[in-house]
Structure 1
Amino acid sequence: MLDRIKRSFNGLRSLVRSLRPLPTDFERFQLLVFTSTMTPIDRHVALYMATRKDAIFAVSYAHWRTKRINKILELYGMDWFKGKRVLELGSALSDIGAFFADLGAEVICLEGRQETVNFARLKHRNVPRLQIEQCDLEGDFSHYGKFDLIIHFGLLYHIKNVDEHMARCFAMTDSMIMETVVCDSQDPHKMLLVPEPKAVLEQSLHGMGSRPSPFYVERLGTEAGFKFDRHFTADLNFEDRFIYDWPHQNDDSHGDWQKRRFWRFDRA
C-alpha cells in the first residue's frame, strides 16, 4: 500500500515537473500576433505599441485623445473638414491628424522626433491625404504654407521661445485649436521656464520647456488679431492627471502636467 502511494506521488510529481507554465498575457498577445494573418508591417506596429513604455503609447493617452477629438467635432462639426487644409503640430503618433484626414481633410502632421515620425508613417500608411514630417518646432516651419486650421495640442509647454512660436502659428492660419499646460497665474506677462529631460520621448527636444499663464497665451492671441473662446470644461478632464476646469489660486504652480487650458482662436 505504501509503495503504491509512493509510486502515485512520484508519478504526480513527474507530471507537475513536465507541465509548462501558462504564458503571460504578453506572451499570449505575441502568440496571437505571430499566428495571425496580419501583414508584416501591421505585426511590427502591434508589437511596437505593446512593448513601448513611453507615455504616448499608454491607454491614458488614448482616452484623453478621444476626448480632445470629440471636442473638436463639437466645435467644428464633422462636415467642416472635407477639403480643408489642416496642420497638426507636435503630432506624436499622428492619430489626431490621421482621424481628420480620414474625414476628408488634407493634413500635414509635424513631429520633432524622427523615431516617432517613422512609426506614425507605418501606422497610418493607408490613410489618404495625410503627410507626416519631422520638424523642429522651435524653428521655422512657415514654409509649409497657410492652413484652414492648426491643431496645437500638448506642444506649447515643451517650447522655450513661446512668443516667436505663437506668432508663426497665428501668421499661418485664421483658426487654431490649442491646449497646453499653464502656470496658475492671472498675470498676462507671467511665464515660467522649466527644464525637461530631452531624452524622454514626450519632452522638449532641447531640454527646456515653458509654462505660460493662460492670460499670457490669450494676450499673444489678442495682439495677433485673434479672438478666443475658452473651453475650460470638465468633459476634457482625464481622471486626476489632466484637468481643464481647475480654479485659479494665482500661486504660479503648474502641477507638472495637470493644470491645462483649452482654447479656440479665430481671426477677429
Structure 2
Amino acid sequence: MLKKTIEVLRGIRRLPDHVTYLGRRLDHLERNVMVAPLSPIDRHIALQTAFRSDALYDLTYAHWRTTRIAKLIELYGLDNLPRLKILELGAGLCEIGAFLAELGADVTCLEGRPEQVSFARLKHRSVPRLRIEQCDLEGEFSHYGRFDLILHFGLLYHIGEVDEHMARCFAMTDDMVLETVVCDSTDPYKLVKVPGRAEVIEESIHGYACRPSAAYVERLAEQAGFSVERHFSKDLNASDGQFVYDWEPKNDGDLGDFRKRRFWRFKRKP
C-alpha cells in the first residue's frame, strides 16, 4: 500500500511537467496548422517570428514601433510622409521603413547585421520603394546621398564615435528625428562609454555602447546649424515601463540602464 501511495505521489509531482510538455506540443501543432496554407517564404517568416522571442523578435518591440510610427504621423502628417525620401539608420528588421514605403515614401534602410538584412528583405520583399542594405554605421555611409528625412531610432547609444557619426548624418539631411538612451546630466560634454554586447542582435556589431547626455546631443545639433525640437512626452512611453521619455532630470549622472530616453526632431535653420 505504501509503495502504491509513493508511486501516485510521484506521478502527481511529475504532472506539471506533463502539462507543460503537452502545452508546448499543442503550441507547436497550432503554429504548424496556422502556417500550412502559406507560401514557403511566408511560412519561414511566420515560423521564425513565432518561435523566436529574443531581442527584436520580442513582442515589446511591436509596441515601441507603434508609438514611434504614431509620433511620425503626428509630426509630418499622413499626407506628407509619402512625398519624402527617407533614410532609416540601424533599421533592425526594417518594420518602420517598410510601413513608410508602403505609404508611398521612397525609403532606404541601413542595418549592420547581415542576418537581419536577409530576414527583412524576405519579409518585406513585396513592399515597393523600399531598399534594404547592409552597412556598418560606424563607418562611411554618406555615399547613399541626401534625404528629406533621416530616422535615427535606438542607434546612437550603440555608436563608438558619436561626434563623427552625427556630423555624417547632419550633412545628409535638413531634417532628422532621433531617439536614444541618455544619461541623466545637463552637461553638454557628458558622454559615458559603457560595455556593449556584440552577441545581442539589436546592439552594436562592434560591442560599443555609450550614454550621452541629452545636452550633448542637442549641442551637436545646434553646432551643425539645426534647431532642436523636444518631444519628451508620455505618449512615447512603453507600457511595460522599460522606455520612459517624460522623466524629470536629477542631473545625477545616472545611466538608467536602457530606460531613460529622449526623442527630438532636428531641423536645419534657414
Whether these two folds match at TM > 0.5 is: yes
Match of 1:210 in 2: 210
Residue equivalent to 1:224: 224
State the aligned residue count: 247
The structural deviation recorded for 1:21 is 5.1
User: Separation in 2 of the partners of 1:103 and 1:206?
Assistant: 34
Q: Are the equivalent residues in 1 in contact too, given 2:73–2:81 (CA < 8 A)?
A: no
Deviation at residue 111 of structure 1 after TM alignment: 0.2
Q: Which residue of structure 2 lines up, in the alignment, with residue 27 of structure 1?
A: 29
Matches within 5 A, 1:1-268: 23-33=25-35, 35=36, 37-238=37-238, 239-268=240-269
Partner residue of 2:15?
none
Q: Distance in 1 between matches of 2:28 and 2:150?
A: 38
What CA distance in whole angstroms lies between the structure 2 residues aligned with 1:26 and 1:165? 44
C-alpha distance in 2, partners of 1:228/1:120? 32
Distance 2:75 2:257 in 1: 28
Q: Distance in 2 between the 1:133 and 1:234 partners?
A: 33
Q: State the one-letter code of the partner of 1:191.
A: L
SS in 2 for 1:79: coil
Write the distance in 2 (CA, Å) between the matches of 1:169 and 1:26: 45
The change in CA–CA distance for 1:266 and 1:21 in structure 2 (over 3 A counts) is closer
Unaligned runs of 5+ in 1: 1-19
1: distance between equivalents of 2:262 and 2:155?
A: 12
Per-residue CA distance 1:101-135 (angstroms, 9 max, x = gap): 11111100000000000000000000000000000
In 2, the alpha carbon distance for the partners of 1:232 and 1:183 equals 14
Alpha-carbon distance in structure 2 between the residues aligned to 1:83 and 1:240 = 34
Give the 3-state SS of the residue equivalent to 1:24 in structure 2: helix
Give unpaired runs (5+ residues) of structure 2. Answer: 1-20
The 2-side partners of 1:21 and 1:67 are apart by 37
Secondary structure of 1:206's counterpart equals coil
TM-superposed deviation, 1:203: 1.0
Q: Percent identity?
A: 60
